[in-house]
């Protein structure tokens, strides 16, 4: 999605997409709290009234940004997996893909913290203020359940493929996909906002690799 530079005036074309591009820029800069419809309208150079013709309010705009961020996360995972070294042994190849997908997840979170946090923003029915906490949470809904998050689907498919390489083939362990997702998501948050955010780069890489090894080895337990 092409970004719209701040200060440019919108003249014609797809205003909805222009507003979404501006909102994605806001999320990239400061996370979901920065996504405000009036600010997106200001950046595009249109009135709030014009913006409200395309988005009912902040909640709808944030939902669109969240969808974009989730696609970006999954795309980053797939790019990392595509660069993983191949292996003649199907078990090693499946393990390498799983580890690469997990690495892509964490790398995206570290490189794009604003978008990463936006990918898991909880939608509310509150007004158009970035810090408004009043209102009713709209999650979960059919579009935000785990099965609809492509990052989770990628992990699930990789775990299923890894289980199928066992001799004899076996089904994936119950709930292993949720456990794997919890590991990479939890580590991502610790690196972004928790006690691990101050780790030196080498130490951080060691923690990431150890976590990936644990995720992969956890699939080997019968």
Give per-residue pLDDT as tens, 165-222: 877 777 667 788 999 999 999 999 999 999 999 999 999 999 999 999 999 988 765 5
**pLDDT (0 to 100) of residue 132:** 39
In the chain, the percentage of residues whose pLDDT exceeds 90 is 64
Q: What is the mean pLDDT of residues 115-131?
A: 74
**pLDDT (0 to 100) of residue 146:** 53
As a whole number, the mean pLDDT across the chain is 84
> pTM to 2 decimals?
0.83
pLDDT digits (tens, 9 = 90+) for 138-164: 454 434 445 468 999 999 999 999 988
Q: Are the C-beta atoms of 96 and 165 separated by less than 8 Å? A: no
**Alpha-helical regions (H) of 31-149:** 37-44, 48-52, 58-82, 90-111, 113-119
Span between the terminal Cα atoms of the chain, in Å? 43
Torsion of CA 218, 219, 221, 222, to 10 degrees: 160
Domains of the chain in sequence order: 69-125+132-218 (1.10.357.10)
The tokens for 170 are: 């076996």
Residue 2 pLDDT more than 50? no
């Amino acid at each position: 999605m092409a970004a719209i530079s701040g200060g440019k005036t919108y003249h014609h074309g797809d205003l909805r997409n222009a507003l979404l591009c501006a909102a994605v820029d806001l999320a990239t800069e400061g996370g979901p709290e920065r996504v405000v419809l009036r600010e997106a309208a200001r950046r595009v150079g249109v009135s709030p009234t014009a913006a409200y013709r395309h988005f009912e309010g902040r909640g709808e705009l944030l939902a669109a940004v969240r969808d974009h961020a989730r696609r970006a996360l999954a795309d980053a995972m797939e790019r990392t997996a595509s660069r993983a070294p191949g292996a003649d042994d199907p078990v090693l190849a499946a393990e390498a893909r799983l580890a690469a997908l997990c690495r892509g997840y964490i790398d995206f979170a570290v490189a794009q913290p604003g978008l990463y946090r936006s990918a898991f923003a909880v939608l509310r029915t509150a007004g158009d203020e970035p810090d408004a906490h009043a209102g009713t949470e709209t999650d979960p809904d059919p579009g935000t359940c785990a099965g609809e998050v492509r990052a989770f689907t990628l992990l699930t498919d990789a775990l299923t493929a890894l289980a199928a390489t066992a001799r004899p083939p076996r089904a994936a362990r119950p709930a292993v996909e949720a456990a794997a997702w919890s590991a990479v998501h939890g580590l991502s948050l610790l690196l972004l906002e928790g006690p691990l955010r101050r780790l030196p780069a080498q130490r951080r890489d060691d923690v990431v690799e150890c976590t990936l090894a644990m995720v992969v080895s956890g699939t080997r337990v019968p």
